Structure 1
């Protein structure tokens, strides 16, 4: 419990209920609820690339490639089921044709989606040749294109469900803009777009076969919450409780059969008291996903190393996350490194020697030059 008012209410209830002998008993398994969840989640249908019940786990991938006489690039936009958008611009360090650029964009997008553990994905591109070759309608008569097709099929095999669609350039305008931007002389710190440089073609990379862990057979039966960045439904974050799904009305479930308005109202009040903490937990999960994405793009970045007595500036967004505004400075300080806690973690102190509470990660610090 992080909020003082929540602690106060819980303490008041503890005093009120202390006169009663209350024994807590965990809720036992309810077979009817299990069956309703099973029917809702496991609608067995014919094996296709994208079954309807996978909509809650659906990722969207938009790709486009661009090639000029001087350089080439690719644009990738990946959208998570929760609506979180990731933009990547890829600049080529080698000469590439338009078809090669389209394949490189698709391969980069599939790598990104695979690293973020996407399972169900819809792919959109404006290259009819690439789309038809992947579907098998067109054949590859060029050895280089055949290698790109094989590499793409290897990456697609990692996704249990996928679908690729050919769209007009107007519908793929944003990915096309990123591709053209990457093929020009753009800065490498373009925010909020991740920029990377591909020195060699993807088909020249050495692939390593990894051992895939076998999933527990019970997992599909226990997954009753849609995947998203917050692991919570928007309805729960708005109202504090989950909505009753239609299958519970038609097949009935214990919470429908034993519904009592008075008890339900009391439960709603209790959930509303804890709603702020539920939202805070959802926010922390979203931050964790953003950090996971940042680690993927920053895996080639060398960590910062500071020494004791070095002067540094601290990221104000990390030290004061609740303070915002266009006039808020991005960095604050300077401070002095007082002690090395561990690799990449430091303790800070003011210039007069007064220590600062907590240790700080090196990614939130930068050198201060007098």
Structure 2
């Protein structure tokens, strides 16, 4: 058989352009397709089988050649060669069953026409009589012979009762024995010819020894003998065989072609199916795909694929992994279906737990919107910079009451002026850290210096200092007193007073110029910001989640979910700003941004 496979491989290598451009029909009277499709291939046979999957090969039985009959007659008459047999002969199967107090077992020895033999043992996890064990051994032998591709089979058994019942000489009176007999006859109909005969136990020693080994309480495998277990009687499976799964799936065209040779009516679809079917193999009515990572991947239907993904993703051994890791893990476990990548992405995308613990979204979802200020102090916003160690016994609330300031608190998630105040806070906090050596109440003494430094420093957005935009002139800082500048050396109180009043009259022009420079600066910032925007929007009625650290900051901990909800959008205020409500239509205060 290896010579035939090697001849086909050599032909494919020599005629590769023709094999790649056309569908090749291989005429042979040997089971070459079954041999190359076996999952237990190894060595060079496995290498040749994988190499031939790249071509569109169709195996057909070779028809009779009339001219060959004359050549065979001449060769036989003149002694030019040995007799040419039409076939290599039938397969040989020896079976035996055994039952004792320790358990039951079956022994099989199957021999191919080429002389190669296999030893096989079966251990039963249930008690049965000796005649039932003989039937189980016969059933296992018929199944094994069918899997090996046998067409003609000779069976030897040392149980005269089972042999005569199968031949029809004896009648099976018990219900369970009649079920065994019907099951055996159904299996025998799969072969072209089956011959069963009774032999003495002395001529069936190999199968008898295997059955005794398998019937032990704790049978063990060896390199020469493969021992498997049977959890229930074979006749109990007859009811399950009547259940038909009629769910349509992507596997149906491949199974129909590999099993019965059926092709679509369209030539283009038939050619495509034959090309893709080279990567699949049918074993025991189950479809498998040849893989680059492991020998075979079990093909599953859509309903089974959903179970595989959910079991790996969220059940006992699942940790809600990402889509890429999910489908790769399913692939490594030995499963395959064509849409496993998109199915994994959809499952992770729709998983509620994955949405609640997903990472925060830092990518902006709406275009940058600037706050236009017609003049200084047109809009006020206060943000508490802290917490710091207390410097006095008074609280912030008492201090605000003494100055007549009304406090209104807002959340960091939906401010109107908080963005600008946060930038100022960052500048002042950096200055305080640089001036204060240790965390104590001395920060209060340093705060006026930080505020004066901020007011007298030129801003990059306007090109002017905040003090100049407010009063129309630059403030005098202590360094000008230590080393006098030109204006300090030539200071005239009367002319200075007049210049200050003139600056107040022209401060509007200064503010207009600063506003133009700020608009240019804002356009530059807007172009940079909008390059990173990934637009997201919602409509009234959509369900959304809310950031948990903002809605319930006191209840958050390391194991708390990142998002909480769901809530429904009730109103769209502006791009990226919405009003929310609970599922029972209770409105939520304030507006919320994406």
Q: Which TM-score band (shorter chain)?
A: 0.3 to 0.5
- More helix by percentage: 2
Report the TM-score when normalising by structure 1. 0.45
- More strand by percentage: 1
Report the TM-score when normalising by structure 2. 0.28
